[in-house]
A = this chain, B = another copy of it.
């Protein structure tokens, strides 16, 4: 096989990898959206379907990871391509764990939907949308190698953290005023924490993209330790 042929085949494989990652990302975004819808619209059917989606995410993780491994073994990519493939191997781990958080959210929905609603959900859907947007942008930034979008995600993460803190304080007040709210308030607290973890995964991806683009590591500089 000539070198030129190898190279064009290699680039086809990289494009295929990129596509598979975006496809997995799309499914993860769908899981975030449906898990949150199952909470806000109290739709237990949808919660069940969200949980079922996780098996597909798990399969895609293994598949993409193996594709990356074979690319490293057979093509021995250099420099930027090597960075892209090793990051892809890390990013699928974050995507898979986001799927796990969606399963956790859907499970809380199943419990919450059995009892009367504690309060209208206002911050929770806002957090869900922010987390979903962060995941979408992080993957776009990875695939297009766009560091400025990645920087934006790191800044946006504080918004989710603040919404989470605010909601936690509000729920604490509910629980202290009326013990009958404790179980439901704890469930909502958990959902809020799961969303914060999803946004953290998006931030992890974004920080790795900045590293890929600039070749320098900001993971533990200003953004990870915001004073």
**Number of A residues with CB within 8 Å of any CB on chain B:** 36
A89 contacts the other chain (CB 8 A): yes
Known: A69-B86, A82-B69, A90-B89. A62 touches B175 (CB 8 A): no
* Contact of A175 (CB < 8 Å), options: B89, B93, B175, B220: B175
Contact B59 A220 (CB under 8 A): yes
Contact B220 A62 (CB under 8 A): yes
Contact B176 A182 (CB under 8 A): yes
Contact A86 B58 (CB under 8 A): no
A1 contacts the other chain (CB 8 A): no
Q: How far is the CA of A193 from the CA of B93 in the complex (A)?
A: 20
Contact B90 A82 (CB under 8 A): no
Cβ-closest 4 pairs across A and B: A58-B220, A176-B179, A76-B76, A175-B182
